[in-house]
Structure 1
């Protein structure tokens, strides 16, 4: 069996669910599956390269956005094969997951991947479109910009990112400018920054806020199967509160 170390929480879940026993190491932030029992190798941005090398994996799976090229280069220099995924939209997530799982030793496509792809393919057309700002951090405020997986997820659910045309993928935007953009909605995920209901009125007075599970919005793995339903419900509840 291929020995795999994952540097990305969503890829960790995908490997663990699809190939039980293949995963030998994962980051401290890899929280799914809940019973995951592997060696922890540090964070996504600061993995302990020496610990990974000692695990002698056949493959390390990473992501061009989540992980630093400096760390990936160090692993390659140590003779370890590294597979780097690039995920910017929902179709790309399915392609990269299939490619990654194949490299990890999967000889068949897992059922959850078929179910996830079907869930997104069967989405009904949105009744109306909503302009939204999607913060990912505060102090300073940072939001989703152009060409992001989470932005594509929301667009397929009828939510248009106000900053989708920004030059940067994760721009820093002053609160006054965020308010001036006059969004219909603010989408507040609970990761990477753990936004709560108290964070909305602070910067977005009189604008409805949808608190969403960051795993549903930003993870590309088994959670993709339930993400359309759960995100749509969170958006619906925000709309009802605003009515």
Structure 2
């Protein structure tokens, strides 16, 4: 049996997906690739500042990237070095399922992994977060305050759970909105993930007049094995906070 391709992943969720499907295929990953725990591969910097020369030195057969998380200039440098780069584009749950299948096939997977089938099944009819649809503001950063805008994977995840992002029609995908404007919005809920900014019970909820749902950023924003548990995990957190 031939060995799987040597893979470098520049996306934490794709790192987790490859590790769960093709043990031993990964030879490099970013400093932000925290799942699975104890992953023993070369660390090649961040998603926005990867060490491209170090990646080239690993001689990977394939580099996995994402059009949102990684900078085009870095990907161009890798291609110039003669490397093959697969770039995913994920804005919805169906996008994620399709792109995961494409990326894993490119990495040498001979069959669709069970966890991906489980993720597909989990999102066929996810439970609503409340008896009625909720309007929510979804900050992802503070200092300055940034929120989910249009065409985001996390926004689609929430919409499928019955939570409508009030900035879903904004012209930007991650707009900066002053806190006073966020506080003045007509919303039922503030959804506060623990990444990329680590909102906690003591850092974030006090900023909003509506109830706040502290949710797992990995389940809200990562597309990979966590998608199989995401509807259950997120729904529990949203229901606990829903008015």
TM-score of the aligned structures, taking structure 2 as reference length = 0.96
- Could you say which residue in structure 1 is the equivalent of 2:82? 79
Which of 48, 64, 68 is equivalent to 2:71? Answer: 68
1:203 maps onto 2:207 in alignment: yes
User: Would the aligned equivalents of 2:127 and 2:235 in 1 still touch at CA under 8 Å?
Assistant: no
Alignment partner, residue 158 of structure 2? 154
Asked whether 1:174 is paired with 2:178, we answer yes
The one of 186, 192, 195 aligned to 1:191:
195
Structure 1: 5+ residue runs without aligned partners?
none
Structure-2 separation of matches of 1:201 and 1:37: 36
Deviation at 1:199, TM superposition (A): 2.9
User: Equivalences for 1:81-120 in 2 at 5 Å?
Assistant: 81-120=84-123
**Structure 1 residue 201, shift from structure 2 partner:** 4.1
Counterpart in the other structure of 2:231: 228
Deviations 1:45-83 (A, max 9, x none): 000011101100000000000000010000000000000
Q: Matched residues in 1 for 2:42 and 2:145: separation?
A: 34
Instruction: Flag the 1:160–1:74 CA change in 2: closer, same or farther, 3 A.
Output: same
Q: Give the paired residue count.
A: 239
1:237 is aligned to 240
Q: Which runs of 4+ in 1 moved over 3 A?
A: none
Alpha-carbon distance in 2 for matches of 1:211, 1:21:
35
CA RMSD of aligned residues (A): 1.0
Could you state the TM-score of these two structures normalised by the residue count of structure 1? 0.96
**Structure 2: gaps spanning 5 or more residues:** none
Deviation at 1:196, TM superposition (A): 1.0
SS of 2:204's equivalent in the other structure is helix
Offset of residue 124 of structure 1: 4.1
